[in-house]
């Protein structure tokens, strides 16, 4: 037997032993991740409802019903509208805050710790708190507006169609802007200071330095932050549910609230499974394309 063959056998045995060690954990992860997805797929082809436990094959009936469900498409539109407004505002405000605190200001650690407090609050608790603040009789927001205007303010923030979207967006942006702030502050802290000093000596202005040096340097972190918050906004549920329950009517119903109502209040199990599966596929595609776009997937 050659020396190469003698060396190769222990290496193969060592690799096999490593695979045996991680095999149980991989199996558990696959079981947890794949089994619900497979079960969801099976249920979506059945006819299970609150009144009928029909597990027979129904073909694409549930998927065909999606295209004619106006409420579903409205919920999707509401979700995209929340995402399109809240995400840029959270990004811009987080970046401005990060720029402010990148310098060593007096009491910087204390202010940063206070600013990130909203992130650690449970969203449903945050929504309930804002619901109390928006109360038309006892909420402090209407009282402050009344003091400023000199007359009693009875704004119905969570009922009026003209005010309900601003109310939800204020609560959402208040809670999650600090998340963007933390990520962008960490990214800005890693920018090479020597490049900034060299550009400043060469006469480059603030905006030229920002767009030519700072923004490319922090873009990978910014892209990940945008992706995380975009996905989180797409599944927006807690704050909207605490404030409006999707109302007035279904005016603020997001896709998550629609799925919850269909699945856990109206018990249209198979139809809800079809909706959830389509959402999973769409989000997976968006994540894949986004990761390829920012160069994190090869």
Q: Are 249 and 182 contacting, i.e. CB atoms less than 8 angstroms apart? A: no
pTM of the complete model: 0.86
48 pairs with which residues across the strands? 53
Question: How many angstroms separate the CA atoms of 260 and 270, rounded?
Answer: 13
Angle at 237 (CA atoms; ends 233, 241), nearest 5 degrees: 140
**Is the bond into 248 cis (omega within 30 degrees of 0)?**
yes
Q: Are 131 and 123 contacting, i.e. CB atoms less than 8 angstroms apart? A: no
Say what the pLDDT of residue 12 is: 60
Question: DSSP assignment, residue 46?
Answer: S
Say what the pLDDT of residue 73 is: 94
Say what the pLDDT of residue 6 is: 52
Question: How many angstroms separate the CA atoms of 257 and 237, rounded?
Answer: 6
Q: What DSSP string describes 159-198?
A: T-TTTHHHHHHHHHHHHHHHHHHHHHHHHHHTS-HHHHHH
Say what the pLDDT of residue 201 is: 86
Say what the pLDDT of residue 290 is: 82
Q: Which residues of the chain have pLDDT under 50?
A: 1, 4
Helix (H, G, I), strand (E, B) or coil at 252: coil
In the chain, the domains with their CATH numbers are 78-265 (1.10.3720.10)
Say what the pLDDT of residue 9 is: 59
Q: Where are the alpha helices (DSSP H) in 45-69?
A: 61-67
Q: For residue range 149-167, what is the model confidence (pLDDT) as tens digits?
A: 888 888 899 999 999 999 9
Say what the pLDDT of residue 10 is: 63
- Rounded to 10°, the helix 164-189/108-115 angle is 140
Q: Are 246 and 237 contacting, i.e. CB atoms less than 8 angstroms apart? A: no
The whole-angstrom distance between residue 90's C-alpha and the CA centroid of its chain comes to 12
């Amino acid at each position: 037997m050659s020396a190469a063959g003698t060396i190769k056998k222990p290496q193969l045995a060592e690799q096999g032993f490593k695979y045996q060690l991680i095999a149980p954990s991989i199996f558990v992860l696959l079981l947890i991740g794949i089994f619900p997805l497979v079960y969801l797929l099976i249920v979506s082809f059945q006819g299970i409802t609150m009144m009928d436990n029909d597990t027979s094959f129904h073909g694409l009936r549930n998927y065909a019903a999606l295209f004619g469900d106006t409420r579903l498409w409205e919920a999707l539109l509401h979700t995209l509208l929340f995402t399109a407004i809240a995400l840029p505002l959270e990004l811009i405000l987080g970046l401005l805050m990060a720029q402010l605190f990148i310098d060593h200001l007096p009491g910087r650690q204390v202010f940063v710790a206070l600013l990130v407090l909203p992130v650690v609050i449970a969203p449903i608790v945050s929504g309930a708190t804002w619901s109390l603040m928006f109360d038309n009789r006892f909420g402090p927001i209407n009282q402050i507006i009344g003091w400023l205007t000199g007359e009693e303010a009875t704004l119905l923030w969570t009922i009026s169609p003209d005010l309900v979207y601003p109310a939800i967006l204020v609560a959402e942006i208040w809670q999650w802007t600090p998340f963007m702030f933390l990520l962008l502050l960490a990214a800005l802290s890693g920018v090479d200071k020597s490049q900034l000093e060299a550009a400043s000596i060469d006469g480059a202005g603030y905006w030229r330095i920002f767009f030519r040096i700072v923004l490319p340097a922090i873009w990978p972190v910014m892209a990940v932050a945008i992706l995380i918050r975009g996905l989180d906004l797409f599944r927006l549920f807690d704050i909207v549910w605490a404030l409006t329950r999707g109302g007035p009517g279904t005016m603020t119903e997001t896709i998550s609230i629609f799925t919850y109502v269909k699945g856990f209040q109206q018990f249209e199990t198979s139809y809800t499974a079809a909706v959830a599966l389509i959402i999973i596929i769409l989000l997976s595609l968006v994540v894949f394309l986004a990761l390829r776009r920012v160069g994190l997937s090869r």
